[in-house]
Amino acid sequence: MDDQLDFHYTGCLDQLQAFKCVKYLLKFAMTLGYATIAMTKLLSLHEDHPIHPPLPADTDIDWDALAYPFDYHNVFYSESPNEIMERIEPENAWSHHVYYLINCQQQIALLMELYESFFCAIGFCSLRDVFKQVHLNTVMQKAPVIFQGSEAMYFTAVYDFMLQEHHYMLA
């Protein structure tokens, strides 16, 4: 409790949440950082490499086998296989990497869950709860095709949150 009394903060969170943010960010930083790096590397690894075997055009995709060991709906929360294939247009660089798209989608979902755990640890129910207290940027000029619109907005908002808190923590 004495730590809380000596804590000075002028940021956008209330004092208790700010105290928890500083305390738990140290515990989550490595995990969040490495998961973010892994996602970025995975996306860049598969985006521009035509050496990966293309998916034959007449082959039906076994979506459950692709998502293994996860259930399909745990990887792709709200999209049907047809919606995914429509999003991955034939002239798109990702169309030849459908099998690798699954790895990327799993990594994106994992990273979002890690950030949600962090926000729960500092006293919010989710990032959506943070929006009630803090104005966060969700505007992106161009989102990578691998991201659903909500995922792109999510990571933009998380980035803005971390920038704001980083600014206040250094002040």
Structure tokens belonging to residue 122: 């500092």
Residue 115: which pLDDT band, with cuts at 50, 70 and 90? Answer: very high
69-97 pLDDT, tens digit each:
777 777 776 777 777 777 666 555 555 56
Per-residue pLDDT at 94: 55
Per-residue pLDDT at 88: 64
Q: Are 171 and 10 in contact (CB under 8 A)?
A: yes
Which residues does 19 contact at the CB level (< 8 Å), separation at least 6? 3, 4, 7, 9
Residue 112: which pLDDT band, with cuts at 50, 70 and 90? Answer: very high
Distance linking the first and last C-alpha atoms of the chain: 23
Per-residue pLDDT at 81: 77
d(CA 19, CA 3): 9
d(CA 138, CA 162): 13
- Put simply, whether the predicted model's pTM sits higher than 0.85 gets the answer no
Tell me the average pLDDT across 131-141: 82
Q: Are 160 and 137 in contact (CB under 8 A)?
A: yes
